[in-house]
């Protein structure tokens, strides 16, 4: 009996250690559900949020397949910007101002898996897509990992970050990006964190984000801005 009790006590101790390693009280993002399998890139943020996204698509008359709205029923939405004024000296600076302004307007909006509109909510890459798509000549992918591999956007070192750069994180994987935000300067970035949270500004200096930081790309350049 004493041996069995010792084994059970050891197992409980190990479980408690694993739990504390997964959730740090210093960051709300860490209080998400336990990591999903590594092959789930981007849509791993939760079935409850996915269900809400489906209901939103159905409510807005999304196309149906077999009586159910499909994940691709509603194409991703983005903000339509007016034509740039002819007297603009720098298209990149003008595009950056528009993008950051749009991102800030979304602060407090809910996270929604598959979401890319202010009315429904955003997931992490949906927020980026909404703010940037109409400012670009190039095709902007929809998911964090495809954005991370976008060759038209040059890689940027962490100490070379500028406002508007995309910052990527590997939360549930080692080499693939499953989270993206937009750098705002002074070590801050704006993001749509996870199910149950709202769009917010976070710090890259936070231990959690430092640990999961993967890299950055500059999306707005002379070669990419319309």
SS (H, E, C) 152-163: CCCEECHHHCCC
Q: Is residue 159 part of a domain?
A: yes
The model's pTM: 0.72
Q: Coil, strand or helix: which one is 183?
A: strand
Q: Is residue 49 part of a domain?
A: no
Q: Is residue 44 part of a domain?
A: no
The confidence score (pLDDT) of residue 44 equals 40
Task: Report the number of distinct structural domains present in the chain.
Answer: 1
| Residue 112 backbone dihedrals phi, psi, to 5 degrees | -145, 120
Angle at which helix 91-105 crosses helix 124-132, to 10 degrees, equals: 140
Instruction: Kindly give the parts of the chain with pLDDT less than 70.
Output: 1-74
Q: Range of 134's domain?
A: 76-81+91-217
Residue 188's CATH number = 3.90.1720.10
Catalytic residue numbers? 124, 179, 191
Q: Is residue 134 part of a domain?
A: yes
The confidence score (pLDDT) of residue 10 equals 47
Q: Is residue 16 part of a domain?
A: no
Q: Is residue 113 part of a domain?
A: yes
pLDDT tens-place string over residues 44-79: 443 444 455 556 545 544 433 333 333 344 689 999
Count CB neighbours of 205 within 10 A.
Answer: 10
């Amino acid at each position: 009996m004493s041996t069995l009790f010792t084994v059970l006590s050891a197992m409980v101790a190990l479980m408690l250690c694993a739990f504390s390693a997964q959730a740090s009280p210093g960051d709300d993002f860490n209080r998400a559900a336990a990591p999903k399998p590594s092959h789930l890139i981007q849509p791993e943020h939760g079935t409850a949020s996915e269900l809400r996204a489906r209901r939103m698509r159905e409510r807005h008359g999304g196309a149906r397949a077999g009586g159910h709205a499909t994940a691709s029923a509603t194409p991703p939405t983005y903000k339509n910007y007016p034509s740039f004024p002819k007297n603009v000296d720098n298209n990149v600076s003008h595009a950056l101002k528009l993008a950051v302004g749009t991102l800030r307007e979304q602060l407090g909006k809910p996270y929604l898996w598959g979401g890319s509109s202010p009315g429904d909510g955003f997931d992490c890459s949906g927020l980026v897509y909404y703010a940037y798509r109409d400012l670009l000549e190039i095709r902007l992918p929809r998911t964090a990992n495809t954005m991370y591999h976008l060759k038209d956007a040059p890689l940027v070192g962490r100490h070379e970050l500028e406002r508007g750069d995309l910052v990527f994180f590997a939360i549930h994987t080692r080499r693939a990006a499953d989270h993206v935000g937009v750098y705002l300067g002074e070590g801050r970035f704006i993001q749509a964190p996870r199910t149950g949270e709202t769009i917010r500004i976070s710090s890259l200096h936070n231990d959690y984000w430092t640990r999961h930081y993967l890299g950055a790309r500059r999306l707005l350049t002379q070669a990419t801005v319309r």
